[in-house]
């Protein structure tokens, strides 16, 4: 694990706490003193009403008085039994400034004087000058000491970048697999960091930044750590979202701080994860709430900093994003993130390599073939594969096995694809029968359609959030393009479940809603994005995401109502034709459908050779080939309604 010191802010707080604490104590003492001192030194004299005092003066009883502005002390003539004058002193508070008082006192022969200057005065004066600043500093110190672990109200502007000190990311290039092109490009950066002289002597400028682009979980963060690990340089890492703060201007201050730190530690790597959180196009959609200012300022600061330092200082900025299309074009300009490294989902060979990396510390049984697992996991990213190996190991451990077997891997794949088995969800007989026919419907059509892969397994054991049964189809190879007949085939497969229900039960259940959704989406995309409709031609009716984000409000092009109607009609025709073919295929293979469904009901799961025996008997009706080629049905073919009896 990297040593993460939250530099600066974590070192200071203990000092601040002492500082604040001692000031607080001092402050309290001084305040107490201020209240206590006068009452200690002042005599404890009985308090009498002012009227009584005046009455005593006029009665000639008062001997002497000390007259202050808000306090009068006096003593009486009256003598104690042994003849000495009374030492008893009384205190009264004058009602207002009584201008007659000196005259009255003189008339009654009272000896009077003003009070001597206050001995405690200098202390009060001192306190009245010192206390307010002390209170201020006390509260300040108190807050500073609190924020060490608490809300960062006062850390504004301090970079949260963590330092992974030399080599301590612990990640090497050998830990990253299946992304060879990206690795090759990044190895070059490692060389820049290690042997900068070789390049600068020739007058070459070392690139300032590289942008890692790729879907989530493909190993972008891992690659950045590997660069630091290989080059053995400090690694500053911060996530784009951490720059965005409540207060406008804070993010910009952070960027400044981050670069300052980095320049002091050069050569080093600054890694900005999830750059899209910060680098979204300025002034794009979403600005209507007015919350964009902070992000814009932060982004501007980043651009300024990237321009501001000299190319050969040895600071290399690596950023990662899975949404390159939303990045501000200014970020991608040469001189900033001038190198873009694509980190894509791995292909079959790559997946096998990644599996090998993660299986290094896992005990594998003899029968485990990582190559086969790689074939069965198209579309899995590195993170998915890491998760897969771990799931399989957990399964094996739960069964108290000595090593992880192929069966564990297969179960783990299914878990990741379809969710956990839910045998607790009990279906009644009719429901189970409906599900069985539905799944066999998918499977038979799946077996006949091109490019859809082999049907591997059908099951009526509920899984995951909503699936009551499922059919697993595994592609035999990685596919990057879909041809139009494959799209048609896929739509027909999706509708196969519902079509089987129609044929066998004469009515449909709610279980096909997801299939229908997917089929319709696919048909719509074929027409509005891929230009596969003869009528509408190769015209895009949807905007790609990038155009959408750069300030247009609607995802569709502005189209006339007539064209919209045409699109709707074409989508419906595509789906209807596929539905027709699905019905037609199942009608044609009706016996096979019933046999297979009965067996599935008994065994709950059909897979491997058992399943293949059944599906190999599936036969394609004549019209299928023609439909796959053109998407059209011949005019004289019976329509859906005739099949729907």
What residues line the site for ligand ADP (CB under 6 A)? 176-179, 216-222, 320, 354, 357, 382-383, 386
Output 270 or 500, the one with its CB closest to Zn ion: 500
Under rule CB under 5 A, residue 279 binds Zn ion? no
Provide, rounded to whole angstroms, the least separation between the CB of residue 207 and ligand ADP.
Answer: 21
263's CB contacts (< 8 A; 6+ apart) are 309, 313, 315
- Nearest residue (beta carbon) to ligand ADP: 382
User: Which residue, 221 or 589, is less far from Mg ion as judged by CB?
Assistant: 221
- Nearer Cβ to ligand ADP (344/484): 344
Q: Which does 515 bind (CB under 5 to 8 A by kind): Zn ion, Mg ion, ligand ADP, none?
A: Zn ion
User: In whole angstroms, how far apart are CA 38 and each of 42, 44, 191?
Assistant: 6, 11, 77
Helix (H) or strand (E) holding 213, with range, is strand 209-213
**Helix spans in 178-219 (H):** 180-194, 196-200
Radius of gyration of the chain (CA): 42
Q: Which stretch binds Zn ion (CB under 5 A): 75-83, 206-214, 361-369, 512-520?
A: 512-520
The DSSP call for residue 345 is P
Residue from 2, 346, 489, 497 that binds Zn ion (CB under 5 A)?
497
What does the block give as tokens for 268?
A: 């080093």
- Of 161 and 176, the one with the shorter C-beta distance to ligand ADP is 176
For the chain, first and last CA: distance in Å? Answer: 67
Between residue 335 and residue 364, which ones bind Zn ion under the rule CB under 5 A? none
Place of tokens 């005593």: 56
Residue nearest to Zn ion (CB): 497
- Residue 549 contacts which entry, Zn ion, ligand ADP, Mg ion, none (Cβ below 5-8 A, type-dependent): none
Instruction: Work out how close the CB of 442 gets to Zn ion at its nearest, in angstroms, rounded to a whole number.
Output: 6
Determine the residue with CB nearest Mg ion.
221
Strands 62-67 and 111-113: parallel
Q: How far is CA 277 from CA 77, 251, 326, 443, in A?
A: 90, 12, 10, 43
- DSSP for 405-462 reads -HHHHHHHHHHHHH--B-TTSPPPHHHHHHHHHHHHHHHHHHHHSTTS-EEEEEE-S-
Q: Which residues contact 35 (CB under 8 A, 6 or more apart)?
A: none
Residue 555 has which token pair?
A: 């995802």
- For residues 439-498, which are near Mg ion according to CB under 5 A? none
Distance of alpha carbon 94 from alpha carbon 80, whole angstroms: 28
Minimum distance, C-beta of residue 579 to ligand ADP, in the bound complex (Å): 39
38 binds, among ligand ADP, Zn ion, Mg ion, none (CB under 5 to 8 A by kind): none
Q: For ligand ADP, which is the closer residue by CB, 337 or 548?
A: 337
Compare residues 324 and 497 and give the one whose CB is closer to Zn ion. 497
Residue 222, contacted partner among Zn ion, Mg ion, ligand ADP, none, CB below 5-8 A by kind: ligand ADP
Q: How far is the CB of 459 from Zn ion (least distance, A)?
A: 12
User: In terms of CB distance, is 145 or 239 closer to Mg ion?
Assistant: 239
Name the helix (H) or strand (E) containing 528: helix 513-528
Q: Which of ligand ADP, Mg ion, Zn ion, none interacts with 462 (beta carbon under 5 to 8 A by kind)?
A: none
Residue choice 352, 414, 502, 515 for contact with Zn ion (CB under 5 A) = 515
DSSP character at residue 400: T
List binders of Mg ion among 202-231 (CB under 5 A): 221
Q: What is the dihedral of CA 18, 24, 26, 30, to 10 degrees?
A: 180
Residue 626: active-site member:
no
Residue of 439, 456, 501, 502 marked active site? 439
For residue 488, the minimal CB distance to Zn ion (Å) is 18
Q: Closest approach of Cβ 549 to ligand ADP, in Å?
A: 21
Q: How far is the CB of 253 from Zn ion (least distance, A)?
A: 54
Helix (H, G, I), strand (E, B) or coil at 125: helix
Residues 6+ apart with CB under 8 A from 65: 57, 72, 73, 74, 75, 105, 110, 111, 112, 113
Q: Nearest CA to 223 among 72, 383, 108, 416? A: 383
Catalytic residues: 439
- Interface with Zn ion (CB under 5 A): 497, 515
- Interface with Mg ion (CB under 5 A): 221
């Amino acid at each position: 694990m990297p040593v993460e010191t939250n530099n600066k802010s974590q070192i200071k707080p203990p000092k601040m706490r002492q500082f604040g604490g001692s000031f607080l104590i001092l402050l309290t003492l001084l305040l107490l003193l201020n209240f206590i001192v006068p009452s200690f030194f002042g005599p404890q004299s009985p308090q009498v009403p002012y009227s009584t005092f005046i009455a005593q003066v006029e009665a000639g009883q008062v001997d002497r008085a000390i007259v202050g502005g808000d306090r009068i002390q006096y003593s009486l003539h009256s003598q104690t039994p042994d003849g000495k004058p009374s030492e008893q002193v009384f205190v009264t508070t004058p009602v207002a400034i009584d201008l007659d008082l000196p005259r009255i006192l003189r008339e009654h022969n009272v000896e009077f004087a003003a009070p001597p200057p206050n001995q405690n005065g200098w202390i009060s004066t001192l306190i009245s000058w010192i206390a307010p600043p002390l209170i201020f500093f006390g509260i300040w110190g108190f807050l500073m000491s609190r924020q060490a672990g608490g809300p960062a109200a006062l850390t504004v502007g301090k970079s949260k970048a963590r330092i992974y000190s030399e080599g301590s990311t612990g990640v090497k290039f050998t830990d990253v697999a299946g992304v060879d092109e990206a690795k090759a490009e990044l190895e070059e950066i490692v060389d820049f960091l290690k042997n900068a002289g070789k390049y600068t002597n020739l007058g070459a400028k070392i690139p300032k930044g590289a942008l890692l682009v790729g879907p989530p979980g493909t190993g972008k963060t891992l690659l950045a750590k590997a660069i630091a690990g290989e080059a053995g340089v400090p690694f500053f890492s911060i996530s784009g979202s951490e720059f965005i703060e409540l207060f406008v201007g804070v993010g910009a201050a952070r960027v400044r701080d981050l670069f300052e730190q980095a320049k002091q530690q050069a050569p080093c790597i600054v890694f900005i994860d999830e750059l899209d959180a910060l680098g979204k196009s300025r002034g794009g959609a979403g600005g209507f709430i007015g919350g964009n200012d902070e992000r814009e300022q932060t982004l501007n600061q980043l651009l300024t900093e990237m321009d501001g330092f000299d190319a050969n200082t040895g600071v290399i900025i690596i950023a990662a994003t899975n949404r390159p299309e939303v990045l501000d074009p200014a970020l991608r300009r040469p001189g900033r993130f001038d190198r873009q490294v694509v980190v894509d989902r791995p292909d079959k060979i790559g997946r096998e390599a990644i599996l090998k990396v993660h299986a290094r510390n896992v005990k594998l049984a003899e029968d485990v073939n990582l190559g086969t697992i790689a074939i069965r996991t198209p579309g899995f990213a590195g993170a998915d594969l890491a998760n897969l190996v771990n799931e399989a190991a957990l399964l094996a451990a739960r069964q108290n096995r000595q090593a992880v077997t192929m069966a564990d891997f297969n179960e783990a794949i299914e878990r990741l694809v379809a969710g956990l088995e839910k045998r607790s969800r009990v279906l009644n007989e009719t429901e189970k029968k409906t599900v069985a026919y539905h799944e066999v419907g998918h499977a038979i059509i799946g077996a006949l359609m091109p490019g859809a892969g082999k049907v591997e397994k059908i099951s009526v054991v509920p899984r995951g959030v909503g699936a009551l049964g499922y059919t697993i189809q595994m592609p035999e190879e990685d596919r990057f393009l879909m041809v139009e007949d494959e799209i048609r085939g896929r739509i027909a497969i999706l509708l196969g479940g519902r079509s089987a229900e129609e044929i066998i039960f004469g009515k449909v259940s709610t279980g096909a809603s997801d299939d229908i959704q997917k089929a319709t989406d696919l048909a719509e995309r074929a027409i509005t994005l891929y230009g596969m409709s003869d009528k509408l031609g190769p015209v895009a009716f949807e905007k790609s995401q990038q155009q959408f984000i750069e300030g247009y409000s609607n995802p569709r092009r502005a189209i006339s109502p007539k064209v919209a109607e045409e699109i709707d009609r074409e989508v419906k025709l595509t789906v209807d034709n596929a539905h027709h073919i699905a019905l037609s295929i199942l009608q044609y293979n009706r016996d096979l459908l019933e046999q297979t469904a009965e067996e599935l009901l008994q065994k709950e799961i059909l897979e491997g050779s058992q399943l293949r025996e059944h599906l190999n008997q599936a036969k394609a009706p004549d019209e299928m080939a023609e439909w796959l080629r053109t998407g059209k049905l011949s005019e004289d073919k019976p329509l859906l309604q005739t099949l729907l009896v």
